[in-house]
Structure 1
Amino acid sequence: MHKQHKRDWLIKIRKARKPTQETVATKAYIDRAYYAQIESGVRNPSEEIRQKIAQILNFHSSAFNADDESPFRYALEAAPMIIAHCDMDLKYTWIFNHHPLFPPESLIGKRDDELGLGIGGQMYAQMKRTVIEKQISIRKTVSFSLPDKHLYTYMIFAHPLFDSTKQIIGAATILTELSKITLTEDTDASSG
């Protein structure tokens, strides 16, 4: 039997956007109890329902696929990669393979400037903003000086995120870790 996983990310997005379970269910033309079971992980909605919920809460419906036990998930979970979606306000709506310092529950609904990511976070946010405004893909190397006393350098690929009606709803990013350097008191961390 398939293991149930509570969809904390979905609950957090709904609460950040303010609608009740009843409101989401009504707009998606489903029963509130069924919607509650979707949030709790008891029920897996059809693709049509996933798209309706995603459109109501303004995130990409593929976020539901992260709950699935697929070969894609197993292939990437040990890779030095972070995959994330953000909305039009640059708030995280989904993350896969998060950095150990930032569990998903601490990221969903927040922007990079709320996470203390320094200059690297500002560069990353600007990159996502440009992707959304110009609806283009961008590739860039960015370094982040993190609280664990390391400087992480990532190759970041970002592209626009569209809903099923082709309306832009945010940006999708893939961060591939290139290096991790231990910072000492003598190390200049000004680049991240």
Structure 2
Amino acid sequence: MEHKKRTWLGRMRKVKGLSQDEVAKLVHIDRSYYSKIENGLRAPSEKLAEDLADLLGFHYSVFGMEKSPFFFALRHSKVVLAHFDLNLRYTWLFNPHADFDPVLAVGRTDVEMEKGSGSEELMQMKKEVISRRQTMSKKIVFTLSDGDAAYDVTCHPLFNARGVLIGGSTAAIRLQVCAFPKVHS
């Protein structure tokens, strides 16, 4: 099995201003064990994943995604998946457009990464999903380095294992615009 360093987990820890030692103490494990989790050498139990997620502010399901066959199927698709917290800051970003680094996105909002009407519209959608606690879907156009790109975005409220609202999740698919030749009669 390939071991992939969980750079997103280290970024979440740093965004919270915590050292590996502090995280380990707060979740009642040895620092070396936590280090192995962050370095992708060990997988946490479900309970430990929940404790780490609660402490660092993300949804524990991210650990399960690493083992999912969908991870490999989606990795090079036009689908972008993400989690965000109640402040609309990314806690996890999977398969983004090449303009965005998924690790550097952690702890940042859409408008901090890209200023434009698409980012503002996405943030507004996220706010509504959190306040209404209901799923929403809409088409949003973003201006990217390779031109304008339309995405079909679905946003859903995200609850932790105890049922507490912690933010939301998004699934977006880049739409293919097809130009059909005019048929002359």
Q: Summarize the alignment of residues 23-172 of structure 1 with structure 2, pairs less than 5 Å apart.
A: 23-68=22-67, 70-146=68-144, 148-172=145-169
2:8 alignment counterpart:
9
What is the SS of the residue equivalent to 1:179? Answer: coil
Structure 2: distance between partners of 1:177 and 1:80: 5
- Pairwise CA RMSD of aligned residues? 1.5
What is the SS of the residue equivalent to 2:176? Answer: strand
The answer as to whether partners of 1:152 and 1:180 remain within 8 angstroms in 2 is no
What is the SS of the residue equivalent to 2:175? Answer: strand
Give the drift of 1:21: 1.6
The answer as to whether partners of 1:81 and 1:97 remain within 8 angstroms in 2 is yes
User: Which runs of no fewer than 5 residues in structure 1 stay unpaired?
Assistant: 182-192
Q: What are the superposed Cα offsets for residues 81-139 of structure 1, whole Å, 9 maximum, x if unpaired?
A: 10000111111111111111112122111101111240000000110111112211101
Among all aligned residue pairs of Structure 1 and Structure 2, give the percentage whose two residues are the same amino acid.
37
Structure 1: distance between partners of 2:41 and 2:101: 23
User: Which runs of no fewer than 5 residues in structure 2 stay unpaired?
Assistant: 179-185
Give the drift of 1:36: 1.0
Structure 1: distance between partners of 2:16 and 2:146: 34
Structure 1: distance between partners of 2:59 and 2:69: 21
Q: Between Structure 1 and Structure 2, how many residues are aligned?
A: 178
TM-score (ref. length: structure 1): 0.88
The answer as to whether partners of 2:93 and 2:103 remain within 8 angstroms in 1 is no
